[in-house]
Structure 1
């Protein structure tokens, strides 16, 4: 029987606490001290000038009238499907840079979609901004009148980038989630750690690899497509032969990795980096063979058109400062004109890099069901 080092167990407790928070139904943020402090640890505050509108890091984010009105309102109502830790520090950073608070409601994509569509259909949707991690749901929001067209302050810049502006500003892709892999550095020596995707299929990892099944969501579907296209049609079979442990959610996978129950795992970069800086004994790898990516979508609602704070939140999200903060958390910024921004000691590829392969909304709509069905067969997974 293998004994898990005490340090692994202690750090795993921290990661489980973080994961439980991420699975919670909803939460609100008023720029709590802990989140604000964490936000500054992630990325130092930029230079801010609000003497004539809002200028952050030399870029005009909002004019004087919008900033004044947003501060008078005092807060923005934000519905998001982002991970709890990421959403909290993003809300805190927005408040620190703009002086406007965030009233946040966080739910998984499916539950959030149900609530948004229900409230919108009844004319009771109070959220000014809605962020969703499933581009197909974003399309449904657009078709059912949840989102309303709003051209952000940086529209002329972001509209030149493919796959960022949808329906002339009805909604946007502010950043992308990245997927790579990681290992428990308490049970795997650095010299033995996997360096590229092919290393995960080494027989020495038999029974020690953790993966999330492809039906769990768009991010893992995107990873599955990436593996087939970049690593070969036989990659699933090679990995399946190692009898990996298959998880239903990324949070339970992350807990198992932190506890040392699995040694290596395919990993969502943002959530895993959050666990690492929280103290979990986890090291991420940015493989030279590339990383997969999936869309996050965000739009101002009809109610948000009457809210200066909601407009400011959308402007800030697409600003250079908001984009750099997303990158510093472990997302891939949609804008490619921003200064290079590392995630701690890691350097993720930029959105326009050949090392970053996006699973597009079209892929999700047209290929998703087939990917899941074939993946299940390859891994003998019955759900």
Structure 2
């Protein structure tokens, strides 16, 4: 399996002696051990196709063909999540994976470039920007795939099936906040979004600017629409340190340069699990969410491994492993398993507020402009 480079946060934790043994970019059994620690491996029966925890994922012909194939997967997910997901898929199916991870905008450029030259290698593409996913469908990079055993369930679930099945919501990213548990303890630990406005956090907080990406743009919209129209002004009065990327923000939180920060759940939970002195909070008012979209490509329609990965992604096992990492599953007919000690809401819970593609298209630029003005940010 191709491996992505170790993130700056993981490198910093390792240098500081905070990285737990067995976590991260090792191959084979080491990473499989990590996935089992996050969520026990399900019962797998491959005597006649692939049945995982009693749910049919593939028939015998597809499974046999997929095991003679290799999944080529391009993803905009975080590097650790991509590696964990690939290893879990291999552990449950026996299918090899080559995973390439890069930010969604660059990923989109590469996919379109390869497709335009007739050399698209990826069989499956996962991308975190729904507008880019729509563009890939319009360019016929994503092709309709309706053969998943869970297809009828997906089409009956809100905000999951797009462009006639050309791509689907695989899961949602959730955004909340976190704190350094060496610096913040006991009664000082915040429980709600409004607790972040306590004067004690003035100059001790970190946020990522709203123009840095869809997740933080969605968070800004959530804060304004759900917490209140004056929330930005109250947060700006705290004089937070403003970051351009979540990875640098997490490094600062782990080192204690800031004590509290708005935070993407999956990446922050990964840092906590790797030994960083960070704890997450699921605020009582709710969490914001953004889409992760996935589709079978024109290349993938000839790849049994790619089709099996599509089937597995929306299986109960695939959805629950995403939840164990700190995502919110797209399927609402199954349990949202805990993320370690945390319990995130299901996708259809009123406390989970998703930033829709329509909001991003019609309001996104104005949201960023007004946020920058409120926070005095010129980046």
**Alignment TM-score, normalising by the size of structure 1:** 0.92
- 1:72 positional shift: 1.5
2:125 corresponds to: 130
Instruction: Provide Cα deviations, 1:173-197, integer angstroms capped at 9, x if missing partner.
Output: 0100000000000011132011100
- Tell me if 1:199 matches 2:195: yes
Asked if the contact 1:15/1:278 (under 8 Å) is kept, the reply is no
Q: Of residues 363, 373, 377 in structure 1, which corresponds to 2:359? A: 363
- 1:83 positional shift: 0.2
Q: Of residues 99, 122, 144 in structure 2, which corresponds to 1:104? A: 99
- 1:152 positional shift: 1.7
Q: Of residues 174, 178, 183 in structure 1, which corresponds to 2:174? A: 178
1:22 corresponds to: none
Q: Of residues 66, 70, 94 in structure 1, which corresponds to 2:66? A: 70
Q: Counterparts of 2:46 and 2:293 in 1: how far apart (Å)?
A: 28
- 1:32 positional shift: 2.7
Q: Counterparts of 1:317 and 1:238 in 2: how far apart (Å)?
A: 40
Q: Of residues 63, 81, 97 in structure 1, which corresponds to 2:76? A: 81
**CA 1:340–1:217 in 2, change beyond 3 Å: closer, same or farther?**
closer
- 1:14 positional shift: 3.7
Q: Counterparts of 2:27 and 2:105 in 1: how far apart (Å)?
A: 27
Q: Counterparts of 1:180 and 1:122 in 2: how far apart (Å)?
A: 41
| Over 6 Å off, 4+ runs | 15-19
- 1:211 positional shift: 0.2
- 1:120 positional shift: 0.6
**CA 1:262–1:12 in 2, change beyond 3 Å: closer, same or farther?**
farther
- 1:38 positional shift: 1.2
- Tell me if 1:262 matches 2:258: yes
Asked if the contact 2:10/2:271 (under 8 Å) is kept, the reply is no
Q: Counterparts of 1:148 and 1:12 in 2: how far apart (Å)?
A: 41
Q: Of residues 323, 338, 341 in structure 1, which corresponds to 2:337? A: 341
Instruction: Provide Cα deviations, 1:72-119, integer angstroms capped at 9, x if missing partner.
Output: 22x100000100000000000000000001101111111111100100
- 1:40 positional shift: 1.0
Q: Counterparts of 1:354 and 1:46 in 2: how far apart (Å)?
A: 30
Unaligned runs of 5+ in 1: 1-8, 20-29
SS state at 1:352 partner: coil
Asked if the contact 1:197/1:289 (under 8 Å) is kept, the reply is yes
Q: RMSD between aligned alpha carbons?
A: 1.9
**CA 1:119–1:321 in 2, change beyond 3 Å: closer, same or farther?**
same
- 1:18 positional shift: 11
- 1:212 positional shift: 0.1
- Tell me if 1:238 matches 2:234: yes
Asked if the contact 1:126/1:303 (under 8 Å) is kept, the reply is yes
Instruction: Provide Cα deviations, 1:288-317, integer angstroms capped at 9, x if missing partner.
Output: 100000000000001100000000001000
Aligned length: 364
Instruction: Give 1:371-382 correspondences, 5 Å limit.
Output: 371-382=367-378
**CA 1:128–1:15 in 2, change beyond 3 Å: closer, same or farther?**
farther
